[in-house]
Amino acid sequence: MVQAYISGTGFYVPPRVVTNDDLIHHYGVETTHDWIVQRTGIEARRFADAGIGTSDLALEAARAALSEAQLEAHDLDLIVFATLSPEHAFPGSGVYLQQKLGLCEGENAKFVPALDVRNQCSGFLYALSTAVAHVRAGMARHVLVVGAETHSAALDLSPGGRTVASLFGDGAGAVIVSATEEDRGVRGVYLGADGRFAEVLCQKIWDIRERPFIKKNPDGSGHVPADRLWATMDGKLVFKHAVGTMLAALMRACSAHKLGVEDIDLFLFHQANMRINQYVAQQLGVPDTKIPHNIQRYGNTTAATIPILLAEAVREGRLRPGMKVAMAAFGSGFTWGAAIIDW
């Protein structure tokens, strides 16, 4: 039976570091370093410069993943791109990445399909599930899965942006999902969603039900009300559901493979809030040594958090062949997922 394994990982974050103090003194966000750290664990994040889009970040991560897998872009059979911050409303960022990888040029042009996934913080796991299904079904041998975000362009970096602006950063992570006959790889990805809470964490930049969906000013330019322009969140409710749902998702994944928490060598949690992950670990009885964090350096990069964390674990030698990995994420929608991988 064909198995799907991760043959390469890569990540990229913009070089510009924005500390909590930068948010306060440069942007005027009304907060304090201690307030942010105590509630989220975040000390800094990365912001891309103007002119840099989400597919630009993804390109660097994808190149790193291809290099580690010892593949060329033309070896790919599919691109799956998870993001909530594409360059435009449409088309998705996947086709921009395809072009930037050089797949559309020259005599050897290969017009591989490009699929975009819009599941926010759970986006990488939804994308991973799609890639695994294609490989197992024999529809692809090598799939590029990317999670990338450019949040900084859509944050309320002003005195009124305290609740949300301090949480997010820019970055990209990528993996290559490849076919193998070996008994290894992604054992299962378990997903879920609950649309009853769709508006608890959202950004209603427009409402397509309205005519026109963006109201016009007298000069013909568009007008977006402030309550739709920026992301909004009920933090307490998100925290409560994140903890319970991540625990349930992990237990479902482990149970499906008859695993106990002690059988998992490394837990890779979505980096939304250090306190959420610490609470989940405490409830499971997982030692700190099994749970890496990078939220303190990058903030919440949404669909990119798990693949960035994965690539760092590989680079640092923390994740080695033969280890068993569990992943879990929760986010807007509400959506969630968990995965078990034999590395």
> 240-281 pLDDT, tens per residue?
999 999 999 999 999 999 999 999 999 999 999 999 999 999
Confidence (pTM): 0.96
The catalytic site residues sit at 121, 270, 300
How high is the pLDDT of residue 159?
Answer: 86
How high is the pLDDT of residue 300?
Answer: 97
How high is the pLDDT of residue 229?
Answer: 87
Of the chain, the end-to-end C-alpha distance in Å amounts to 17
How high is the pLDDT of residue 161?
Answer: 83
With 90 as the cut, is the pLDDT of residue 168 above it? yes
How high is the pLDDT of residue 225?
Answer: 87
With 90 as the cut, is the pLDDT of residue 226 above it? no
Q: Which domains are seen in the chain, by residue range?
A: 3-183 (3.40.47.10), 186-198+231-342 (3.40.47.10)
Rounded Cα distance, 115 and 131, in Å: 10
> 58-73 pLDDT, tens per residue?
999 999 999 999 999 9
> 135-166 pLDDT, tens per residue?
999 999 999 999 999 999 999 998 888 888 99
Write down the mean pLDDT value for the chain: 95
Rounded Cα distance, 71 and 8, in Å: 9
How high is the pLDDT of residue 259?
Answer: 96
Rounded Cα distance, 65 and 171, in Å: 15
Rounded Cα distance, 77 and 189, in Å: 21
